[in-house]
């Protein structure tokens, strides 16, 4: 994956605008690129991620599909095999389980089953996570199910800059990418975004801030929570916190993880999904396998409880907040 | 060998009550005057309730709410053909169905306020909570109907889905089972013209949604969904067939979503107001009122009395809803398993610690008592 030289012009965009800009750019640069999903056309997507694209590129390239997630996923696979570059949208994370048959049995396996003859260069965009006061099944964190599945690259940005560069990299990737977009950050995350084309290398974590006493490993909207927790720990406890936003969940940037944990010796993994069988569990296992002797304390995981996501009146007690990260970090620091 | 026709289908549409309030007497079902008035009351009250719920949402006193205005007949009428022991599984746009089944609407408000205590249904009724991932309940309803068949007491299961949902594979599998096992199931396709921003015309190339049923050996018909009498007649007939062991029916009710998809949507982005105005003329309630008035069953005085009673009822439900104390966060650990496993016991204790970290040592005493069964 090449990283193009960043052009000088940048503007402040929010995360959903950055996604929109990447989609627009991909559609204009490559005639094979098309978007399909529910309400992505005339309505511009329920989060407005595809706003304006239907008008600009027409019905054949920005397609309002029937309400049928398996149809969207399966036909996107077929389109990709046939030479197109489909970008499919599943409207909410909670509607993603419908496509698992296609995702688990086919998406990541077609390259290998055809002994390299066929490939599936598609992107599946899925809004991710909670805390937006949404109805039931609109606040889920299904990344571990996908990461568990071989052959699929899994990406989740937490800044507008990363969202654009990673989405363009995902669209240009020769293999299928599931691209999670943290809903909470769609409008709240704002930042400088270069106007031109650029990509960010898939598989590389971002050091959000450097520190020497403890490492926070995180992704998605929880990155912002970790920043708040770090600020408090530095002020109240005088602890120096390093934060790694993984950005790509599969394949993991293990070098970056081990370098950071090797330096600090203490680690808290923070995410929104239930802890059991989570991607935090995989990270924790990798650190134990490859970095055990560098550890000064057990690795702590802060995640959702092992129950279903409650309706939104209680969601702030389900998804970890800065308090929970602080509590886990203090326990780790004082071990 | 010449080509032979091996199957051909006639898809019928049932309309009884015209938009002028006139009735086709040859198709008129047997309905007592009392039940006619009850039909009107249900539709009238749920529309007023819907209007209040939207106001509550707009003033920040309710979460995202799916409005039902325009669909009162398809919602309130089919439950009138059922027994409390028949299974009913509405969609998330199902306030009118639950209301007709006797649910206290304070719980409906509580649910859309994001409170899990809102999933409460009338005691004694076989009503199930709707599924939010659309259509995922349809195969379950085949199972509910199958269970009714195995019990042998003539019970049925009635469910709903939208025109959008009819595109999902779930309906294919549900009807495959319903046809194959001759299940006592009634599938009401509430075709309201729109799946968020996608019109019915983009969902399926077939002329009707009713005709899908026949592909599975299930009876299908189309009904004017804004005609309460047609909806009633079709449901009564489908339920009677189901009770007699004659199998499942799909009733495509052609109606219209007068409002946005939910309060989080803006329909003006994708549909013409002309279309909305056209459907306004086919309103299920005003049509029914003309009919009742012509029959001398209704007049302005009765309307005024009903309006007063409705205002009082809505005020009472809203008050009861707003008086629910904030839920105890520990509630979320209740009723996840018949007996909670060790890790949930541990995690609940961790949440107690978090609450104390936030609110001080005494906080657990100050919270309302935890509800539900744990461990």
Parse chain A into domains and list their residue ranges: 10-194, 206-333
The pair phi, psi for residue A302, each rounded to 5°, is: -115, 110
Residues B147 and B100 in one domain: yes
Same CATH fold assignment for domains A10-194 and A206-333: yes
Domain count, chain B: 2
Q: How confident is the model at residue A2 (pLDDT cuts 50, 70, 90)?
A: low
Which helix or strand (DSSP H or E) is residue B172 part of?
Answer: helix B169-180
Of A138, A137, A183, the closest CA to residue A163 belongs to A183
pLDDT tens-digit series, residues B229-262: 999 999 999 999 999 999 999 999 999 999 999 9
| Closest partner CB to A307 (pick from B63, B327, B333) | B333
Among residues A138, A148, A197, A271, which one is catalytic? A138
For chain A, say whether B134 makes contact (Cβ under 8 Å): yes
A-chain CB neighbours of B136 within 8 Å are 98
In the annotation, is B261 catalytic? yes
pLDDT at A5: 57
Per the CB < 8 Å rule, is B336 touching A307? Answer: yes
- For chain A, give the longest Cα–Cα distance: 60
Residues B23 and B51 in one domain: yes
Classify strands A85-89 and A123-128 as parallel, antiparallel or unpaired. Answer: parallel
A-chain CB neighbours of B344 within 8 Å are 305-307
For chain A, say whether B205 makes contact (Cβ under 8 Å): no
Does the residue B25 lie in any domain? yes
Residues B50 and B143 in one domain: yes
pLDDT at B124: 86
Among residues B101, B106, B257, B287, which one is catalytic? B257
A-chain CB neighbours of B129 within 8 Å are none
In the annotation, is B137 catalytic? no
E strand residue ranges, chain B = 13-14, 87-89, 126-127, 157-162, 185-191, 194-195, 198-199, 219-224, 249-254
pLDDT tens-digit series, residues B192-218: 999 999 999 999 999 999 999 999 999
Burial readout B253-289 (b: 16 or more C-beta within 10 A, e: otherwise): bbbbbbbbbbbbbebeebbeeeebeebeebbbbebbb
pLDDT at B173: 98
CATH number, residue B40 = 3.40.50.970
For chain A, say whether B87 makes contact (Cβ under 8 Å): no
Residue ranges making up the domain that contains B359: 329-366
Cα–Cα separations (whole angstroms), residue B26 to B15, B16, B17, B23, B29: 11, 9, 11, 9, 9
A-chain CB neighbours of B206 within 8 Å are none
pLDDT tens-digit series, residues B147-162: 999 999 999 999 999 9
For the cut 80, the answer to whether the pLDDT of residue A316 exceeds it is yes
pLDDT at A138: 96
For the cut 60, the answer to whether the pLDDT of residue B360 exceeds it is yes
Does the residue B374 lie in any domain? no
Rounded distance between C-alpha atoms, residue A169 and residue A63, angstroms: 22
The CA distance from B29 to the nearest CA of chain A, in Å, is 35
Of B118, B115, B81, the closest CA to residue B101 belongs to B81
Per the CB < 8 Å rule, is A313 touching B327? Answer: yes
Best of B168, B360, B371 to disrupt the A interface (most A CBs within 10 Å) is B168
The CA distance from A56 to the nearest CA of chain B, in Å, is 16
What is the residue-averaged pLDDT of chain B? 97
Burial readout B31-65 (b: 16 or more C-beta within 10 A, e: otherwise): beeeebeebbebbbbbbebbebbbebbeeeebbbb
Q: Are A170 and A22 in contact (CB under 8 A)?
A: no
Per the CB < 8 Å rule, is B168 touching A69? Answer: yes
pLDDT tens-digit series, residues A21-48: 999 999 999 999 999 999 999 999 999 9
The two structure tokens encoding residue B145: 């109907």
Q: Are A66 and A14 in contact (CB under 8 A)?
A: no
A-chain CB neighbours of B196 within 8 Å are 38-39, 43, 46
Please count the helices (runs of H) and the strands (runs of E) in chain A: 13, 14
pLDDT tens-digit series, residues B26-82: 999 999 999 999 999 999 999 999 999 999 999 999 999 999 999 999 999 999 999
Residues B32 and B101 in one domain: yes
Task: Please give the residue of chain A at the shortest CA–CA distance from B130.
Answer: A136
Task: Please give the residue of chain A at the shortest CA–CA distance from B262.
Answer: A135
Task: Please give the residue of chain A at the shortest CA–CA distance from B113.
Answer: A313
The CA distance from A51 to the nearest CA of chain B, in Å, is 11
pLDDT at A8: 64
For the cut 70, the answer to whether the pLDDT of residue A239 exceeds it is yes
What is the residue-averaged pLDDT of chain A? 97
Average pLDDT estimate for A239-257: 98
Size of interface A-B (CB pairs under 8 A): 117
Average pLDDT estimate for B281-295: 98
Residues B67 and B135 in one domain: yes
Q: Are B374 and B333 in contact (CB under 8 A)?
A: yes
Does the residue B45 lie in any domain? yes
pLDDT at B122: 78
Return all residues near A179 (Cβ < 8 A) that are at least 6 apart.
A123, A124, A125, A126, A155, A156, A166, A167, A170
Does the residue B1 lie in any domain? no
Q: Are B181 and B146 in contact (CB under 8 A)?
A: yes
For the cut 80, the answer to whether the pLDDT of residue A89 exceeds it is yes
Rounded distance between C-alpha atoms, residue A298 and residue A266, angstroms: 7
Average pLDDT estimate for A223-244: 98
Rounded distance between C-alpha atoms, residue B163 and residue B168, angstroms: 10
Which helix or strand (DSSP H or E) is residue A124 part of?
Answer: strand A123-128
Of B111, B61, B54, the closest CA to residue B327 belongs to B111
Does the residue B375 lie in any domain? no
Residues B17 and B148 in one domain: yes
pLDDT at B189: 98
The two structure tokens encoding residue A272: 């929104």
Rounded distance between C-alpha atoms, residue B183 and residue B218, angstroms: 10
Of 3.50.50.60, 3.40.50.920, 3.40.50.300, 3.10.580.10, which CATH number belongs to A206-333? 3.40.50.920
The two structure tokens encoding residue A151: 């052959």
Per the CB < 8 Å rule, is A306 touching B343? Answer: yes
Rounded distance between C-alpha atoms, residue A304 and residue A215, angstroms: 20
Per the CB < 8 Å rule, is B196 touching A313? Answer: no
Rounded distance between C-alpha atoms, residue B232 and residue B237, angstroms: 9
Architecture in CATH for domain A10-194: 3-Layer(aba) Sandwich (3.40)
pLDDT tens-digit series, residues A119-173: 999 999 999 999 999 999 999 999 999 999 999 999 999 999 999 999 999 999 9
Per the CB < 8 Å rule, is B332 touching A138? Answer: no
pLDDT at A3: 56
Q: Are A330 and A237 in contact (CB under 8 A)?
A: yes
Give first-to-last CA distance, chain A, whole Å.
41
pLDDT at A171: 98
Per the CB < 8 Å rule, is B354 touching A324? Answer: yes
Return all residues near B360 (Cβ < 8 A) that are at least 6 apart.
none
The two structure tokens encoding residue A13: 């965009």
The percent of residues above 70 in pLDDT, for chain A, comes to 98
Classify strands A248-250 and A153-155 as parallel, antiparallel or unpaired. Answer: antiparallel
pLDDT tens-digit series, residues B125-139: 999 999 999 999 999
pLDDT at B113: 97
Rounded distance between C-alpha atoms, residue B321 and residue B336, angstroms: 25
């Amino acid at each position: 994956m090449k990283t193009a030289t960043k052009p000088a012009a940048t503007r402040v965009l929010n995360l959903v605008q950055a996604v929109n800009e990447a989609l627009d750019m991909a559609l204009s640069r490559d005639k094979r690129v098309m978007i399909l999903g529910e309400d992505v056309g005339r309505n511009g997507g329920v989060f407005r991620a595809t706003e304006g694209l239907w008008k600009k590129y027409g019905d054949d390239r920005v397609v309002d599909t029937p309400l049928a997630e398996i149809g969207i996923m399966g036909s996107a696979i077929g389109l990709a095999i046939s030479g197109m570059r489909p970008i499919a949208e599943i409207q909410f994370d909670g509607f993603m389980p419908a496509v698992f048959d296609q995702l688990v049995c086919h998406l990541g396996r077609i390259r290998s089953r055809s002994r390299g003859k066929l490939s599936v260069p598609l992107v599946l965009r899925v809004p991710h996570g909670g805390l937006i006061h949404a109805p039931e099944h609109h606040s889920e964190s299904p990344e571990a199910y996908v990461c568990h599945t071989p052959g699929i690259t899994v990406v989740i940005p937490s800044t507008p800059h990363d969202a654009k560069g990673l989405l363009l990299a995902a669209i240009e990737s020769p293999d299928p990418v599931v691209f999670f977009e943290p809903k909470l950050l769609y409008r709240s995350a704002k930042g400088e975004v270069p106007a031109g084309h650029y990509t960010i290398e898939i598989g590389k974590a971002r050091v959000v801030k450097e520190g020497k006493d403890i490492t926070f490993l995180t992704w998605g909207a929880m990155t912002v929570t970790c920043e708040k927790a770090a600020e408090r720990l530095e002020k109240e406890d005088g602890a120096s916190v390093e934060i790694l936003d993984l950005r790509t969940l599969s394949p993991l940037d293990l070098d970056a993880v081990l370098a950071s944990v090797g330096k600090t010796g203490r680690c808290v993994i923070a995410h929104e999904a239930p802890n059991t069988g989570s991607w935090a569990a995989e990270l924790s296992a990798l650190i134990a396998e490859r970095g055990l002797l560098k550890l000064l304390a057990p690795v702590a995981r802060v995640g959702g409880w092992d129950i279903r996501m409650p309706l939104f009146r209680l969601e702030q007690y389900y998804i970890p907040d800065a308090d929970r990260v602080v509590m886990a970090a203090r326990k780790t620091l004082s071990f | 060998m010449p080509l032979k026709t091996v199957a051909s289908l006639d898809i019928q549409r049932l309309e009884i009550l015209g938009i002028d309030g006139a009735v086709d007497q040859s198709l008129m079902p047997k309905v007592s005057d009392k039940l006619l008035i009850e039909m009107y009351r249900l539709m009238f009250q749920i529309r007023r309730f819907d209007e209040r719920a939207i106001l509550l949402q707009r003033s920040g006193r309710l979460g995202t709410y799916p409005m039902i205005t325009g669909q009162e007949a398809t919602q309130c009428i089919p439950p009138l053909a059922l027994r409390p022991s028949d299974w009913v599984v509405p969609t998330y746009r199902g306030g009118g169905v639950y209301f007709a089944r006797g649910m206290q609407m304070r719980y409906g408000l509580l649910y859309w306020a994001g409170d899990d205590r809102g999933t409460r249904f009338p005691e004694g009724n076989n009503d199930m909570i709707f599924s939010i991932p659309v259509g995922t309940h349809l195969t379950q309803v085949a199972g509910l109907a199958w269970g009714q068949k195995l019990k042998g007491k003539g019970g049925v299961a009635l469910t709903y889905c939208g025109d959008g949902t009819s595109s999902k594979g779930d309906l294919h599998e549900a009807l495959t089972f319903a046809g194959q096992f001759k299940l006592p199931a009634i599938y009401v396709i509430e075709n309201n013209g729109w799946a968020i921003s996608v019109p019915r015309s983009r969902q399926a190339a077939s002329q009707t949604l009713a005709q899908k049923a026949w592909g599975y050996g299930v009876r299908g018909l189309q009904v004017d969904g804004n005609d309460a009498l047609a909806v009633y007649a079709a449901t009564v007939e489908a339920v009677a067939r189901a009770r007699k062991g004659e199998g499942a029916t799909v009733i495509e009710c052609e109606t219209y979503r007068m409002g946005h998809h939910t309060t989080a949507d803006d329909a003006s982005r994708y549909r013409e107001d002309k279309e909305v105005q056209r459907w306004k003329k086919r309103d299920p309630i005003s049509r029914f009122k003309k009919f009742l008035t012509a029959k001398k069953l209704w007049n302005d005085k009765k309307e005024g009395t009903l309006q007063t009673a409705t205002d009082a009822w809505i005020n009472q439900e809203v008050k009861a809803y707003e008086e629910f104390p904030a839920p105890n966060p520990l509630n979320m650990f209740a009723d996840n398993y018949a007996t909670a496993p060790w890790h949930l016991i541990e995690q609940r204790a961790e949440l107690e610690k978090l609450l104390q970290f936030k609110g001080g040592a005494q906080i657990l005493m100050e919270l309302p008592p935890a509800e539900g069964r744990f461990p």
